Amino acid sequence: MSSLSNSLDQTDRALLIHPYSNLVAHEQAGPLIISRGDGVRVYDVGGKEYIEGLGGLWSASLGFSEREIAEAVYEQMVQLPFYHGFHSKSTPSLIKLAHHLAEISPIPDAKFFFANSGSEINDTVIKCIWYANNVAGYPAKKKIITRNRSYHGVTIATASMTGLAANHSDFDLPIDRFLKVMCPDFYREGLEGESEEQFSDRCVAEVRDLIEREGADTIAAFVADPVIAGGGVLPPPKGYFEKLQPLLKENKILFVADEVICGFGRTGNMFATETYNLRPDIVTVAKALTASYIPMSAAMIAPSVWQPIVEGSRKHSVFAHGYTYSGHPVAAAAALKTLEIMEKRNIIGHVKTVAKVFASRLESYRGHPLVGDVRHVGLIGGIELVSNKATKAPFPVEVGTGAHCLRAAHKHGVILRSIGDIVAFCPPLIISEDEVDEMFSRFDRALDDTHAMLKGKELA
Ligand code: PLP
């Protein structure tokens, strides 16, 4: 290690609490310090090159060296580095962004609210729904339904929505008002002999039972990430949303699509709402809105929700919600340029083409002795490693199969994510067919290493 990387490593270990990291392991192993990006590749301080197979955090849609965004950000910084939206203030870049979003929004006549992260915007949406229901005369209609293994963020409300134990344990979460239903994971939750459609029926029947038990007049919204990503890369099973949506409508329960990962091309359309024919009342987006170059998130809100909010502000003289950086003009400039590039370079068309190679490489793992399931849509995919393909038995947790595979992937020059023993792929949308091939070739070596490790332990 060079003296520079050594001193960075020591300083990092001494000073930083890393998000989503095992802090004890981190003190021993130290950080992977990434210092440069180029296209779909990033480089660590020692000069080692990696294909970023997860687009950073499912997010860097345009890769790591898009100069046009850097220049747009620079120009905005020089022109007006900051202004806010409180007390009816605005900026041209934010207005242009809202105008552009209105043209592509899957929600007709939507209004837009901006924040800085997926967590903040989902949190905002819950507050907006509660506020709107109070103003509209439904003060009891407040509970929020989400799915086990869904991911919606880490604030007190959004971690309560998130269906992952690690986000709750010792954080005193979830708080009340947040209800959970089954994860629509056909591979793990489907019963012997049950078809995918029948499984979807069972998932929706559980929601119906919950609504009946709790009372529709107490349930405000159902929030779903159309493809559950962080919980294991789970596109919805056949018929799931088709059957769910009428049930929600019948019971006047709002449907919120959390498109923080899916939005802006990930599933092969601009929004997953289109991919899965969803008709949500609210859509939240973040990550690829700015290609992740600058923090920004947004909610697209239907008239049925924003109208009571406007009324509420009449009643209270103010809509008392907002962040210092809601609609930050520099983030707005980055978002505008991102959307312009997506259009100009037909990124969605590119995703549709490259997704075919991505899908066929993933599908080729179905026959692999360690692979129990393969799932994908657009440019997001996952493979689930199991110790027994026939029984779907997982590897013992203490073996850390997924984590081992991930470390091996790093060694072979591809950064991925392991979720237990599920390996996730979510590369920048600009990835070429050759780069997809290269990414999977590097992963093949990691899978071989993992296989060898398991054989050594007589587990494969
Ligand atoms: N919603 C979904 C679907 C996500 O995947 C994430 C983060 O990965 C969030 C919300 C939270 O976003 P953030 O980490 O920006 O708070």
Q: What is the DSSP string of 23-38?
A: HHHHHHH----EEEEE
How far, in Å, from the CA of 336 to the mean position of ligand 1? 21
What's the pLDDT at 229? 98
Choosing from 58, 260, 285 the residue with most ligand 1 atoms within 8 A of its CB, the one to mutate for a pocket test is 260
Cβ proximity of 140 and 213 under 8 Å: no
Which residue spans of the chain are classified as CATH 3.40.640.10?
A: 68-344
Give residue for tokens 């505008």: 336
Test site for ligand 1: of 146, 151, 262, most ligand atoms within 8 A of the Cβ: 151
Distance 386 CA to ligand 1 centre (A): 27
Residue ranges of the chain assigned to CATH 3.90.1150.10 = 32-65+346-456
The alpha carbon of 297 and the centre of ligand 1 are apart by a number of angstroms equal to 10
Instruction: Give 229-290 as a 3 state SS string.
Output: CCCCCECCCCCHHHHHHHHHHHCCCEEEEECCCCCCCCCCCCCHHHHCCCCCCEEEECHHHH
Question: What pLDDT, on a 0 to 100 scale, did the predictor assign at position 6?
Answer: 87
Regarding the beta carbon of 263 and ligand 1, being less than 6 Å apart is answered no
411, 440, 410: which is closest to 427 by C-alpha? 440
Ligand 1 midpoint to CA 57 (Å):
9
pLDDT of the residue at 2: 72
269 CB less than 6 Å from ligand 1?
A: no
The confidence score (pLDDT) of residue 1 equals: 58
Global pTM?
0.98
Q: Print pLDDT tens along the chain (460 aa).
A: 577 788 999 999 999 999 999 999 999 999 999 999 999 999 999 999 999 999 999 999 999 999 999 999 999 999 999 999 999 999 999 999 999 999 999 999 999 999 999 999 999 999 999 999 999 999 999 999 999 999 999 999 999 999 999 999 999 999 999 999 999 999 999 999 999 999 999 999 999 999 999 999 999 999 999 999 999 999 999 999 999 999 999 999 999 999 999 999 999 999 999 999 999 999 999 999 999 999 999 999 999 999 999 999 999 999 999 999 999 999 999 999 999 999 999 999 999 999 999 999 999 999 999 999 999 999 999 999 999 999 999 999 999 999 999 999 999 999 999 999 999 999 999 999 999 999 999 999 999 999 999 999 989 8
- Domain 68-344 belongs to what topology? Aspartate Aminotransferase; domain 2 (3.40.640)
To test ligand 1's pocket by mutation, which of 152, 234, 426 has the most ligand atoms within 8 angstroms of CB? 152
251 touches 20 (CB < 8 A): no
Check if 230 has its Cβ closer than 6 Å to any atom of ligand 1: yes
Which CATH number fits the domain 32-65+346-456, given the four candidates 3.40.50.10860, 3.30.420.40, 3.90.1150.10, 1.10.3720.10? 3.90.1150.10
Closest-CA residue to 436 (of 370, 311, 350, 343): 350
- State the Cα–Cα distance between residues 415 and 134, nearest whole angstrom: 46
| Residue bearing the CA closest to ligand 1, atom 13 | 118
| β pairing state of 414-415 and 371-377 | unpaired
Determine the atom of ligand 1 nearest the C-alpha atom of 262: 3
φ and ψ of 309, to 5 deg: -65, -40
Distance 437 CA to ligand 1 centre (A): 28
Q: Is the CB of 150 under 6 A from ligand 1?
A: no
- For residue 395, give the DSSP letter: P
- With the C-alpha atoms ordered 59, 62, 66, 72, is the resulting torsion angle positive or negative? negative
- Does ligand 1 have an atom closer than 6 angstroms to the CB of 260? yes
Q: What is the pLDDT of residue 368?
A: 96
Neighbours of 207 (CB within 10 A): 22
